Amino acid sequence: MSEFDAIFVGAGHNSLACAAHLALKGWKIAVFERSQTIGGAVQTGEYTLPGFRHDFGAMNLSLFAGSAFHRKYANELKSHGLDFAPVADCFASAFPDGKWFGVSNDLEKTASRLAAFSAADAATWRRLVGAFPGEAEHLFRLLGSPMSARALAGTGWNLWRKKGLAGALDTGRLLFSSPRAWLEENFETPHVRTTLAAWGMHLDFAPDIAGGAVFPYLESMANQSFGMVLGKGGADTIIRALAGMVTAAGGQITTGADVTGIMVTGSKASGVRLASDETHVARKAVIAGVAPKALPGKLLPNGSGDAGFDAAMKKFRHAPGTMMIHLALDDLPDWSAGAELRQFAYVHLAPSLDAMSRTYQQAIAGLLPDQPVLVVGQPTAVDPSRAPAGKHVLWVQVRMLPAEILGDAAGTLAPAHWDAVKDAYAERVLDIIESYAPGLRSKILGHAVFSPLDLERENPNLVGGDQICGSHHLSQNFLFRPARGFARWNTPLANLYLTGAATWPGAGTGAGSGFMLAQQLGGN
């Protein structure tokens, strides 16, 4: 038996950021990870062929690059190997009619593309970009603050002081609007609306779901204003750097160590038990980077002592699933809509707002969508180091999908377990990409397919293939993430805390959950 100040269950990037900060504050730290690889959903591996490095889940590291954690520890992270690959041509959408629209960090380039569709939309874009610094101050302050009465009051006061009552109400309206409502109010071109709305689908917001407008707004304005960054060599550059910080400060990271239970003494978490029957004592904190459903009855066999909390954890709602398809390519896709699309980090394939809404409803109903939303990542267009010279990788995220298949919206695949269906469904996805980029299949050197259930097998936090570890709908966000009364990473048990995407401020690579918890426990 060993004693530590804090013990972490899981080695995702939020846990590692929290562990690094506390270790540098002098805490004795232990991190136990069930897998042989740390990083959670932020991993990079040679899933297809040797020399081709594919990001398992997260690819975009802009949130980490702009995070409070990175601002504080940039030098330390760099000394442990953190390296970014900046992106100028950030995201685009290709359409069945042969047109495309994309956002680059050069305002004139983006505005020119917009003007080809609509002079009014180009003018609106310039207006939004001009107003973005003032709006971003308040939104980023909200998203980067704890869900406490004091923090919320400070954010509200600052918003009212800077923008007045009318301006504050406008910001509030943005936070509660659906993507479709905001986009139709601001842009007249369907192609432009659809391109921006695709970002809502990354966070479980189909076009008509309230609370989703802020994500297309922030992603498009931030990409325009700052560009995007990928990890040089792979997204796991942040994981290696975080782990380096932890171990350099004396922390211990153990892989292949499955925590099967959290020990409770009285009403306080006091340590953990591993599958090997080893026990370890935590003097100050046990910090679980797990999906909420893993707590009651599993890590806490007798529950937390609070029936309401345990019920909320069991009923925590997950977003629909995703599939990941990794391709090793002889060359990038030849996009019919225009060769310039080969330069973009992301190319979305989703024909319209209505198509996105239909896809989402099909997945919710347990149907395999006939036309899923495809997020086609082209990281080697930005970072050639991820593949052998002259070769490329393609990162294909398929949204949205059911965890349990009850039928097929296209009527061609019989309901079956994902293990029996995934290859056939992957062929449907490749057919869609091929329709936008003829000849893709002839360029494939190797491939790997991860169904929603494969993703959960690799990382139990991705329940049903939910890559954001929980819906971000208004009923499960802000003060309600993961449940009312527990938005500050707390639980009913003293010294037991939750961290990760299931907690405030939610999914993404910004490490906000881990860092804010670390500051709460160990000081700034």
- Residue 260, in any domain of the structure: yes
Is 271 found in the same domain as 222? no
In this structure, the strands spanning 100-104 and 89-94 are: antiparallel
* Angle in degrees, CA 126, 132, 134, rounded to 5: 135
Mention every residue, 6+ apart, whose C-beta is less than 8 A from residue 142.
Answer: 155
Element (H, E) at 270: strand 268-274
Residue with tokens 């906000």: 512
CA 374, distance to chain mean position in Å, is 15
Is 121 found in the same domain as 201? yes
The pLDDT of residue 388 is 98
Amino acid identity, position 50: P
CATH number of domain containing 302? 3.50.50.60
Is 64 found in the same domain as 20? yes
- Residue 210, in any domain of the structure: yes
Name the phi and psi angles at 311, rounded to 5. -65, -40
Residue with tokens 């796991």: 236
Identify which of 276, 245, 282, 240 has the alpha carbon closest to the alpha carbon of residue 263. Answer: 282
For the record, the structure tokens of 503 come out as 């907690």
Name the phi and psi angles at 287, rounded to 5. -120, 115
Is 119 found in the same domain as 205? yes
In the chain, the number of structural domains is 2
Is 247 found in the same domain as 219? no
Amino acid identity, position 182: W
Please list the pLDDT of the chain residue by residue as tens digits (524 residues).
Answer: 799 999 999 999 999 999 999 999 999 999 999 999 999 999 999 999 999 999 999 999 999 999 999 999 999 999 999 999 999 999 999 999 999 999 999 999 999 999 999 999 999 999 999 999 999 999 999 999 999 888 888 998 999 899 999 999 999 999 999 999 999 999 999 999 999 999 999 999 999 999 999 999 999 999 999 999 999 999 999 999 999 999 999 999 999 999 999 999 999 999 999 999 999 999 999 999 999 999 999 999 999 999 999 999 999 999 999 999 999 999 999 999 999 999 999 999 999 999 999 999 999 999 999 999 999 999 999 999 999 999 999 999 999 999 999 999 999 999 999 999 999 999 999 999 999 999 999 999 999 999 999 999 999 999 999 999 999 999 999 999 999 999 999 999 999 999 999 999 999 999 999 999 999 999 99
- Measured on CA atoms in the order 473, 227, 233, 253, is the torsion positive or negative? negative
Q: Strands, DSSP E only, in 275-320?
A: 279-288
- Residue 188, in any domain of the structure: yes
The pLDDT of residue 12 is 98
Q: Rounded to the nearest 10 degrees, what angle do helices 13-24 and 68-79 cross at?
A: 80
Q: Which domain holds residue 7?
A: 2-42+58-83+234-316+469-522
- Residue 443, in any domain of the structure: no
Residue with tokens 């350099």: 248
Mention every residue, 6+ apart, whose C-beta is less than 8 A from residue 123.
Answer: none
Q: Which of 194, 226, 258 is the last residue of a domain?
A: 226
Amino acid identity, position 99: K
- Residue 327, in any domain of the structure: no
For the record, the structure tokens of 425 come out as 């469904």
Judge if the upstream peptide bond of residue 505 is cis by omega within 30 degrees of 0: yes
Name the phi and psi angles at 307, rounded to 5. -60, -35
The pLDDT of residue 189 is 98
Is 302 found in the same domain as 245? yes
The pLDDT of residue 257 is 98
Q: Which of 191, 226, 261 is the last residue of a domain?
A: 226
Is 207 found in the same domain as 240? no
Residue 287's SS3 state is strand
Mention every residue, 6+ apart, whose C-beta is less than 8 A from residue 6.
Answer: 19, 22, 27, 28, 29, 30, 282, 284, 285, 286, 287, 521
Beta bridge partners of 399: 322, 373
Q: Which of 206, 226, 246 is the last residue of a domain?
A: 226
What's the alpha-carbon Rg for the chain, to the nearest Å? Answer: 22
The pLDDT of residue 172 is 93
Is 247 found in the same domain as 172? no
Distances (CA, A) of 70 to 23, 64, 232, 285, 523: 16, 7, 16, 24, 17
The pLDDT of residue 150 is 87
What are the helix (H) ranges across 177-257?
Answer: 179-186, 190-202, 214-226, 237-248
Q: Give the DSSP letter of residue 514.
A: H
How many other CB atoms are there within 10 angstroms of residue 291's CB atom? 25
Is 117 found in the same domain as 205? yes
- Residue 458, in any domain of the structure: no
